[in-house]
Amino acid sequence: MSNLSERTASHQRIMGPLLVCAILLGLSGLPVAVWLDLRDLSERTLESQARETGRIIDAMRSFYASDVVQAINTATGKIETRHDYKGIQNAIPIPATLSLELGARISGENGSVKYRFISDLPFKDRKPHELDAFEQAALAHLRANPQAASDVEVSGSIFDRQVRIAAPIHMEVACVRCHNTHPLSPKTDWKVGDVRGIQEIVLRQPIAANVLSFKYLLGYFVFAALAGTTFLVLQSRQRRLIDRMNRELVESNSFLASISVQIAKYISPQVYKSIFSGERNVSVATERKKLTIFFSDIKDFTAATERLQPEELTALLNEYLTEMTAIALQYGGTVDKYIGDAILVFFGDPETKGVREDARACVCMAIAMQRRLGELNARWRRGGIECPFQARMGINTGYCNVGNFGSEERMDYTIIGAEANLAARLQSSAAPNGIMMSYETYALVNDIVRARPQEAIRMKGISREVVPYAVEGDLAAPSGEETVFSEHGRGIDVFIDVNALEVESAAHLKRRLTEALAALEKRAEQAKPASEKGLLQA
């Protein structure tokens, strides 16, 4: 686990700088690549434009030299301008013919610029121009709107783009005079400003020709793809490491959870909660607090071990301790330990509601325990146990040292002090199925229980005389609530469960109890001294 954590930390240390470098390169590299590619594209575009311009100028110069300058140099008379100048001595082309011839020469070469001078009304001796849909629409639009500058069409495929610009050819004064009087003109009513035709310029640019202009951007994307792939590979590797660590953590947590559940059965839930929540440090340390201590023990438990089989005794004892522990937890007590059949519980640490409330909870707990023990005894007697358990209980309130006692390797959360010993002594002086408490506890709970003071006694290890108080009942309990009566001793063995009696059995029991009371009164009368009997007779 530690090696895996170190490898994950190492990957984190590597990934951090790599991620920072990738972000910096991404932020700075993209604008630099775009700027370099735009510069390259501008250079390529200017170079292409320069070549096309040179080609057009060369075509114009060649045409001028061959068809104009040569005609003038060989002329023998007056020079005239004609649309059909070719083959005629002393003739040079008119502007329209000049445009037609230049368009043929410029468009005839394999260049990115094409030029056409076209009309739907050519002279009769000329070949008609073939107009496509764009040219027809542009001509109609420009004739309808003579002041329009041009019509534009953009087309092409994913591999190239093409722009066509159609500009109007307006009739000038000389053009009108010539066309309206020429016998070959198809139209003789031209006016100045009319649109005779269009001159079309076509610009074509293959997209593939400029792909290399984006070499820096393409290089940036390749680098970004490689960086992203590397990052994904590293992330995938780190994810596998983290998944593996998570699986090991889940297994470790499951193991620790099962261990903690098992440990919780050995310590009090309050202590377990305070340790695992971080409220209490696991170290040898104690503090002095005022606690209410409860101590209980089973009367004649040694004799019970001789009467019962080990399996029966174990089952009874475990059930008894389970029931008593559940009641202690219900009232908020901290179960310190089990000493054989004895139980040590205290209130006031690690959780407390105040000294008075802690004492009241402890006494109520003891009463509930005795009540539950009576119910258990009834069930056990029905199950064939002749002499079920009778518990003595002692309660005391006072200052004790509470905390972790022991060594750093092995410690025990418990209490130490004379007040804890006093609770044990009070328990030993209590009657079977009785609860005995000190005055310090009685003073805090006298409003909720009935208790009768006993004769002051001295106890081993206690320097002062102690006046124990025997609990006789719960003031808050409604009358008639007690339905189980159990009393065992020399010459007496009584167990009555009122709720379990049938009607016939209840009537028979009532008669027997009446006879028993009469016999007890007779015995008491016989036991009186002779002098007392004489006084009564006199």
Q: What is the pLDDT of residue 536?
A: 47
Q: What is the pLDDT of residue 82?
A: 76
Burial 424-435 (b: 16+ CB within 10 A, else e): bbbbebbeebbb
When pLDDT is cut at 50, 70 and 90, the band that residue 322 belongs to is: very high
Q: What is the pLDDT of residue 331?
A: 94
C-alpha dist (Å) from residue 49 to 46, 289, 354: 5, 100, 98
Closest CA to 200 of 101, 140, 134: 134
Q: What is the pLDDT of residue 391?
A: 92
Q: What is the pLDDT of residue 250?
A: 87
On the CB side of 384, CA atoms within 13 Å amount to: 5
pLDDT tens digit sequence for 76-110: 878 877 777 777 877 888 777 777 777 777 777 77
317-323: long-range pairs with CB below 8 Å, 24+: 317/341, 319/376, 320/373, 320/376, 320/389, 323/372, 323/373, 323/376
Q: What is the pLDDT of residue 397?
A: 95
When pLDDT is cut at 50, 70 and 90, the band that residue 538 belongs to is: very low
DSSP calls for 297-353: EETTHHHHHHHS-HHHHHHHHHHHHHHHHHHHHHTT-EEEEEETTEEEEEESSSS-S
When pLDDT is cut at 50, 70 and 90, the band that residue 484 belongs to is: low
Burial 481-490 (b: 16+ CB within 10 A, else e): eeebebebee
Chain mean pLDDT for the chain = 81
Share of the chain above pLDDT 90, in %: 17
Report the relative pairing of strands 435-437 and 391-406 from DSSP bridges.
parallel
When pLDDT is cut at 50, 70 and 90, the band that residue 413 belongs to is: confident
Q: What is the pLDDT of residue 12?
A: 61
Closest CA to 367 of 449, 481, 468, 478: 449
Tell me the residue type at 501: L
Q: Is 215 helix (H, G, I), strand (E, B) or coil?
A: helix
Residue 154 scores a pLDDT above 80 = yes
Q: Which domains are seen in the chain, by residue range?
A: 21-212 (no CATH), 285-477 (3.30.70.1230)
Between 11 and 508, where is the model more confident?
508
Q: What is the pLDDT of residue 251?
A: 86
Give the Cα separation of 256 and 263 in Å (integer).
10
- Region 481-507: mean pLDDT is 68
Residue with tokens 């202690």: 328
Q: What is the pLDDT of residue 356?
A: 94
Between 529 and 416, where is the model more confident?
416
- Region 48-61: mean pLDDT is 78
Residue with tokens 């174990």: 314
Cβ proximity of 95 and 63 under 8 Å? no
Residues 6+ positions from 338 with CB-CB distance below 8 Å: 321, 344
- Region 228-248: mean pLDDT is 82
Cβ proximity of 64 and 95 under 8 Å? no
